[in-house]
Amino acid sequence: MSHSNSEPNPSMGHSHSHRRGLSVLLPERPHKGHDQTDHAGSANKAGNTTNASTQTSVSAPLHGSHHVHQRRIVFIGNPNVGKSSMFNQLLGAKSRVMNAPGTTVLLERGSYTYGDETWNLIDTPGTYSLLPLSPDEEVASQAAMGMNGQPNPDLIAAVLDVTNIARSLYFLAMILELGRPTVVALTMNDLARRAGAGVDPAELSQSLDGVPVVEVDGRTGKGTDLLMETIAQHLNGTPMPHGLKAVDTNDVDVAQWVESRADDRFEWAAQVLEHISLENRARVTLSDRLDRVLLNPVFGIIAFLAIMFLTFQATTWLAGPMQDWIDGSFRAWCEGGVTHLFTWFSPTATDTWFYGLIVNGILDGCITVLTFLPPMGIMFIMLSLLEDSGYLARAAFVMDRAMRSLHLDGRAFLPIVIGFGCNLPALAATRTLPDSRQRVLVGMLVPFSSCTARLSVYLVLAYAFFRDQAGLVVFLMYVASVLLILGVGILLRKVKFRDLHSEPFAMSLPPYQVPRLVTLLQSVLIKLWDFVKGASSIIVTMIALMWVLQGIPATANAGSFGHVENVHDSVYGVVADTVAPVFAPAGFDDWHASAALMTGFVAKEVVVGSLGQSYAVDSGDETEIQQGEGSLGAAIRHSFDESSGGHGQAAAVAFLLFTLAYTPCLATVAELRRQFGGRIALQTVGLGLITAYILAVLAFQTLRWVL
């Protein structure tokens, strides 16, 4: 499931303030369980009703408690059945995302207090079978069966989609044959009733020979209290329906078991369908009418591109004003407050290095993290709208064929497109992919999408070196980004992801529905908070180090700590001088360029600002175009011509390609680490650096004979 997360959108006629900084370490506040008295409920079992009045609350795990055994409740179901929405309604912000042991597959867990018991609730990835075809399905199967290090569940909550009741019953047959206590949660029943195919929970329970069935609406939370009451009443066991046979999970060949009894399960599902009253399914629904357009080979692609364009623009245009306000007015208020606080202690306190660390380091970092939240929040909202409405599954079908060359399905196209707006929310969008290996592959490709923060660099150098063809140069940079994604993707598939094979793509299309605003906003806030908690510490540490390096004097007349007049005279400048010769084969063996690239590791937006600072050129409120045509552009041309031996244009192209391909911004690296682990993050950073260097050297060595 997804839980989940930057860079602003510079425009041609408008200069943007420089955004960089470190994030304050936000402490996690303990969640205290809040008791709530459930109304007297009723549990459906074979059509009978039993009353149970209970006290329930949701609480964080109780570390150090002396429970002999905490009940383990595993939620399992097909993809797109509303299971995760229901899980979030039960736990809300108190759920935690974790990796399954030894995998990159994400599980969501949380503690639920029922009476004097604490249950461990586990939400598994969606799966169509207990015979897995992907790592995610394998983890779901192991969680239900208690295999390969996964504890045995005390009860399985099988989530069934009423709009696909036949397929759901076949899956339920496998769950029931595990012989564990099982409670059925029916979702999408409201939509099924509108289509004339609703299912009565009591009638279905009777057809299942007494297996308890509860109707739940994951979007509103309706029925969740009754579900938990029913679980509490049946922890000691539920019936095994006639026609099904229990299997010993401790001694079973899963493949042989699943395949050998397939016909028996289909026959059992057909018998259950005969016993429940289903109204006519032949009527044409609104979903059917919409799919005639949205799944059309021509109009479907046009509609998809239009929706992607709106999604892309939402994360750039809508987030821009909010980012500017945070980076401008809000920053000024905060800096004024800190300055007032320092002068309250001493009139000269603002001249100390400590004041510089607080304002230009920690406060700057806090503001920077806040500027990441608008595009992240908007992206989470757009993704939730697309997923909850039912369109995301259609988009996967529409773009599936285009992504087959990388052994990915159509859903992989969405994060890559979003990456051209901002890499950070694009990584958040990888959570929509069903397979963990696909998520890792796409996550490693996202940084090669040319985000809008790189555009300011393209514009300045394009107008500095190729004034008459500047537009063409910028366009070709985006073409290079697309080619780079394809090339690196094919390379990764042949080297690191050889086991990632194209599988027949089958997905049920959920009916279209209107997303619930409250549930959507709650989910977005949880994901934003997860991002802040997960990425802040890395950003804090690295940018604090950058500030320290720029504040340490390295020459006799450089000044004092925190008051270095010329950045070239700081330790940071010494490091830039040391790194510069590495870029000699690429034509920009110059400390100004290497210093800008080092700063660009923090955020690509500040590359141009770093160049202006190192050249001591004050561009004021000039646009990127004016900077490229003005004194900053002239200074860059002079140093690049000198470092390249008179081939400044070739060196400029090499610098642009390096900027396109090398390590993404620090926030993106932090998000890579948060989602995929430190090893994948380091591999992605290394891949970007190596690719960028090779491209830059090849471009310069080739173009210096042409330009």
Domain ranges of the chain: 71-247+258-275, 302-452+470-498+510-518, 521-704
Structure tokens belonging to residue 5: 């997360």
Mean pLDDT of 429-436: 75
Q: What is the pLDDT of residues 556-590, one digit of tens each?
A: 777 777 777 777 788 888 888 899 999 999 999 98
Distances (CA, A) of 391 to 188, 311, 419, 425, 576: 16, 13, 20, 19, 49
Higher confidence at residue 33 or residue 482?
482
Q: Which residue has the tokens 């905490």?
A: 70
- As a whole number of Å, the end-to-end CA separation of the chain is 51
Distances (CA, A) of 401 to 295, 395, 397, 509, 673: 13, 11, 8, 17, 30
Residue 181 known to bind ligand: no
Residue 123 known to bind ligand: yes
Residue 81 known to bind ligand: yes
Which residues face 222 on adjacent strands?
217
In the prediction, which pLDDT does 66 show? 43
Q: What are phi and psi of 598, to 5 degrees?
A: -65, -45
* pLDDT band, very low/low/confident/very high, at 49 (cuts 50, 70, 90): very low
Of the listed ranges 29-38, 192-201, 544-553, the one predicted with least confidence: 29-38
Structure tokens belonging to residue 442: 């796409």
Residue 534 known to bind ligand: no
Distances (CA, A) of 427 to 3, 404, 431, 445, 638: 11, 20, 8, 10, 38
In the prediction, which pLDDT does 619 show? 62
Structure tokens belonging to residue 367: 């503001």
Of the listed ranges 147-156, 343-352, 506-515, 608-617, the one predicted with least confidence: 506-515
Contact between residue 682 and residue 688 where contact means Cβ atoms under 8 Å apart: no
Residue 126 known to bind ligand: yes
In the prediction, which pLDDT does 540 show? 62
Its sign, for the CA torsion 497, 500, 502, 507, is negative
Residue 72: count other Cβ atoms within 10 Å of its Cβ: 19
Structure tokens belonging to residue 107: 């599980």
Burial of 501-516, coded b for 16+ CB within 10 Å and e otherwise, reads eeeeeebebbbbbebb
Question: Is it the case that residue 273 has pLDDT exceeding 70?
Answer: yes
* pLDDT band, very low/low/confident/very high, at 692 (cuts 50, 70, 90): very high
Parallel/antiparallel/unpaired status of strands 117-123 and 106-114: antiparallel
In the prediction, which pLDDT does 18 show? 33
CATH numeric code, 71-247+258-275: 3.40.50.300
3-state secondary structure 28-75: CCCCCCCCEECCCEEEEECCEEEEECCEEEEECCCCCCCCCCCEEEEE
Contact between residue 21 and residue 27 where contact means Cβ atoms under 8 Å apart: no
Question: Is it the case that residue 239 has pLDDT exceeding 60?
Answer: yes
Parallel/antiparallel/unpaired status of strands 155-161 and 182-187: parallel
Mean pLDDT of 338-350: 83
Task: Of 272-281, 387-396, 693-702, give the range with the top mean pLDDT.
Answer: 693-702
Question: What whole-number distance in Å separates Cα of residue 24 and Cα of residue 307?
Answer: 36
DSSP 8-state assignment for residue 11? B
Residue 494 known to bind ligand: no
Distances (CA, A) of 101 to 135, 147, 447, 534, 667: 12, 12, 27, 19, 26
In the prediction, which pLDDT does 682 show? 93
Question: What whole-number distance in Å separates Cα of residue 145 and Cα of residue 137?
Answer: 12
Higher confidence at residue 74 or residue 382?
74
* pLDDT band, very low/low/confident/very high, at 37 (cuts 50, 70, 90): very low
Burial of 524-540, coded b for 16+ CB within 10 Å and e otherwise, reads bebbbebbbebbbbbbb
Question: Is it the case that residue 96 has pLDDT exceeding 50?
Answer: yes
In 198-342, the DSSP E strands lie at 213-215
Question: What whole-number distance in Å separates Cα of residue 297 and Cα of residue 323?
Answer: 38
Question: What whole-number distance in Å separates Cα of residue 152 and Cα of residue 156?
Answer: 10
DSSP 8-state assignment for residue 157? E
Length of the chain: 707
Q: What is the rounded average pLDDT for all residues in the chain?
A: 77
Question: Is it the case that residue 464 has pLDDT exceeding 50?
Answer: yes
Structure tokens belonging to residue 516: 């619930």
Contact between residue 586 and residue 655 where contact means Cβ atoms under 8 Å apart: yes
Of the listed ranges 467-471, 536-540, 658-662, the one predicted with least confidence: 536-540
Q: Which residue has the tokens 């394009």?
A: 462
Contact between residue 84 and residue 527 where contact means Cβ atoms under 8 Å apart: no
Higher confidence at residue 702 or residue 451?
702
Instruction: Tell me how many helices (H) and strands (E) the chain has.
Output: 30, 11
In the prediction, which pLDDT does 575 show? 87
Residue 92 known to bind ligand: yes
Burial of 375 (C-beta count, 10 Å sphere; 0-12/13-18/19+): buried
Question: What whole-number distance in Å separates Cα of residue 305 and Cα of residue 365?
Answer: 36
Of the listed ranges 16-30, 296-310, 635-649, the one predicted with least confidence: 16-30
Question: Is it the case that residue 308 has pLDDT exceeding 60?
Answer: yes
* pLDDT band, very low/low/confident/very high, at 229 (cuts 50, 70, 90): very high
* pLDDT band, very low/low/confident/very high, at 437 (cuts 50, 70, 90): confident
Contact between residue 389 and residue 311 where contact means Cβ atoms under 8 Å apart: no
Residue 77 known to bind ligand: yes
Mean pLDDT of 491-496: 87
Contact between residue 118 and residue 112 where contact means Cβ atoms under 8 Å apart: yes
Which residues face 36 on adjacent strands?
56
CA 114 and chain centroid, separation: 32
Closest CA to 378 of 438, 350, 326, 418: 418
Higher confidence at residue 507 or residue 335?
335
Residue 527 known to bind ligand: no
Contact between residue 586 and residue 693 where contact means Cβ atoms under 8 Å apart: yes
Question: Is it the case that residue 230 has pLDDT exceeding 90?
Answer: yes
Angle at 559 between CA 557 and CA 565, to 5 degrees: 100
Q: What is the pLDDT of residues 496-527, one digit of tens each?
A: 888 766 555 555 666 777 777 777 777 778 77
In the prediction, which pLDDT does 534 show? 61
Question: What whole-number distance in Å separates Cα of residue 107 and Cα of residue 122?
Answer: 7
Q: Which residue has the tokens 């207990």?
A: 130
Alpha helices in 298-412 (DSSP H): 299-313, 319-325, 331-345, 353-357, 364-389, 391-398, 400-403
Half-sphere exposure of 423 (CA within 13 A, CB side): 29
Q: What is the pLDDT of residues 242-254, one digit of tens each?
A: 889 888 887 788 8
Residue 84 known to bind ligand: yes
Contact between residue 434 and residue 134 where contact means Cβ atoms under 8 Å apart: yes
Question: Is it the case that residue 272 has pLDDT exceeding 50?
Answer: yes
Question: What whole-number distance in Å separates Cα of residue 683 and Cα of residue 675?
Answer: 14
Angle at 216 between CA 210 and CA 221, to 5 degrees: 145
Residue type for 621, please? Answer: D
Strand, helix or coil for residue 642? helix
Residue 641 known to bind ligand: no
